[in-house]
Amino acid sequence: MMILRPIQQSDYPALVKIAHESGHGFTSLPNNEKLLQKKIDHSVSSFAKAATEPGDEGYLFVLEDTETGEVVGTSGIEAAVGLDDAFYHYHLSKVIHSSRTLNVYKAVDILTLCNDYTGATELCTLFLKDAYRKNSNGKLLSKSRFMFIKQHQERFAQTVIAEMRGVSDDNGSSPFWQWLEEHFFSMDFPTADYLTGIGQKVFIAELMPKYPIYVNLLSKNAQAVIGKVHDNTRPAIELLKSEGFTFNGYVDIFDAGPTVEAKVDNIATIRNAKHFKVEIGEPSGDTMVLLANEKLTDFRATVVPMTFDERMSSIVITQQVADALYLQAGDSVSATTI
* CATH number of 163's domain: 3.40.630.30
Which residues are the active-site residues?
230
Q: Does residue 53 sit in the same domain as residue 197?
A: yes
In a domain? residue 138: yes
Q: Does residue 264 sit in the same domain as residue 277?
A: no
* pLDDT (tens digit per residue) in 206-238: 777 878 999 999 999 999 999 999 988 898 899
* pLDDT (tens digit per residue) in 150-168: 999 999 999 999 999 899 8
Q: Does residue 237 sit in the same domain as residue 284?
A: no
Q: Does residue 222 sit in the same domain as residue 291?
A: no
Q: Does residue 252 sit in the same domain as residue 126?
A: yes
pLDDT (0 to 100) of residue 205: 66
Q: Does residue 301 sit in the same domain as residue 233?
A: no
pLDDT at 201 over 90: no
In a domain? residue 105: no
CATH code, 278:
2.40.40.20
pLDDT at 199 over 70: no
Q: Does residue 195 sit in the same domain as residue 297?
A: no
pLDDT (0 to 100) of residue 86: 83
Q: How many whole angstroms separate alpha carbon 62 and alpha carbon 3?
A: 8
Average pLDDT over residues 286-304: 97
In b/e form, how buried is each residue of 35-67, taking b as 16+ CB within 10 angstroms?
ebeebbeebbebbeeebeebeebbbbbbbbbee
pLDDT (0 to 100) of residue 210: 79
pLDDT (0 to 100) of residue 105: 92
Q: Which domain holds residue 319?
A: 273-337
In a domain? residue 69: yes
Q: Last residue of some domain: 216, 238, 269?
A: 269
In a domain? residue 155: yes
Q: Does residue 198 sit in the same domain as residue 319?
A: no
Q: Last residue of some domain: 224, 242, 269?
A: 269
Please count the structural domains in the chain.
Answer: 2
Q: Does residue 184 sit in the same domain as residue 332?
A: no
Q: How many whole angstroms separate alpha carbon 225 and alpha carbon 256?
A: 7
In a domain? residue 95: no
In a domain? residue 295: yes
Q: Last residue of some domain: 223, 249, 269?
A: 269
Q: Does residue 245 sit in the same domain as residue 277?
A: no
Q: Does residue 64 sit in the same domain as residue 205?
A: yes
In a domain? residue 215: yes
pLDDT at 25 over 60: no
In a domain? residue 214: yes
The pTM of the full predicted model, rounded to 2 decimals, is 0.90
Q: Does residue 256 sit in the same domain as residue 277?
A: no
Average pLDDT over residues 128-144: 93
